[in-house]
Amino acid sequence: MTRDAFGELVGRHSYELRVHCYRMVGWVEEAEDRVQEPFLRAWRGWGGFEGRSSVRAWLYRIATNACLDLLDRRADRVLPYDLDSMAGDVAWVGPFPEGVAEDRETIELAFLAAIQHLPVRQRAVLILRDVVGWSAAETAELLGGSPTSVRSALQRARATLRERLPRQRGAWSAASSDEERAVLARYMAAVEAADLDALAALLAEDVRTAMPPFPEWFAGRDAVLAALAASWDPARPGYVGRFRMLPTVANGQPAAAAYTRLAGSGPYRPFALGVLTVREGRIAEIVAFHDVALFALFGLPAELR
């Protein structure tokens, strides 16, 4: 088989493998590295492919093992509100710059954060069985166990997720894209105008916000507004400047790229990428990633004027 023909054959699976690796490792750039590995291994090992499974299943096996190799030597990724159960160096769950509708429940940040609490093999079992749709026998063959052990691991993983996933998550997923876009537009306008009253009208009473890599997080509308009032006040030492916002999508959720400028007529510079969770027309959660490298990853401009 020629390299071009091989590339066409496996290329049709590149997006789903990218998403699969992202679910496994929790950070899109690490997922990109893991995706390249199965294609390289597959090209080198094509002569040994005996056709006992589909090319798709073969690539999933290679990609999953590449992720397991990484996870066995790396700490799990978290969000700030999970820090009470973590110790040592902290790595953060990161946003994914896309998300298709049918995958939404298994690519939302809430799901990504929850599965980080699973032991690595349980995480692989849950993703392969409940997301990818593999049988217990197929999963057992990949992980070197038995179908019985796979079923037991899946049961334990599901129990952990029930404890970790927000109770209101069904309402989050039920939000229509039109409703979410309207909420996002109002949110961006409120931030650009530094209008705390307009923002207060958008926030759920139990809203939760975080800004990785900072470990602090806020729970409740009053706490969130107090923190913003301090950072939006030009007279305060923590003033972050005026904002310009651009809409985007992350993890299948509405998101906003925030740019700031302190004074004068210079350009607005990247500040944070905020991923919103909308529930019943209000913002239930904002995770704003303070990592300017994400702007290029999301195809966002390096500055605004």
pLDDT 10s digits, 106-140: 889 999 999 988 999 999 999 999 999 999 999 99
In a domain, 286, yes or no: yes
Report the CATH number that the domain containing residue 184 is assigned in CATH: 3.10.450.50
- DSSP-based three-state secondary structure for 28: helix
Residue 263 structure tokens: 């004074």
Q: What's the pLDDT at 102?
A: 56
Select from 282, 218, 275 the least CA-distant residue to 93: 275
Residue 112 structure tokens: 């990504």
Residue 51 domain boundaries? 1-74
Do 291 and 180 fall into the same domain? yes
Last residue of a domain, one of 74, 96, 120: 74
The dihedral built from the CA positions of residue 294, 297, 300 and 305, taken in this order, carries a sign that is positive
In a domain, 99, yes or no: no
Residue 270 bridge partners (DSSP): 259
Residue 192 structure tokens: 């650009």
- Give the C-alpha separation, 67 to 301, whole Å: 31
End-to-end CA distance of the chain: 50
Sorting pLDDT into bands at 50, 70 and 90, what band is 76?
Answer: confident
Report the CATH number that the domain containing residue 35 is assigned in CATH: 1.10.1740.10
Average pLDDT, the chain: 87
Residue 52 structure tokens: 């006992």
Split into its structural domains, the chain has a count of 2
In a domain, 90, yes or no: no
Asked if the model's pLDDT at residue 243 lies above 80, the reply is yes
Q: What's the pLDDT at 138?
A: 94
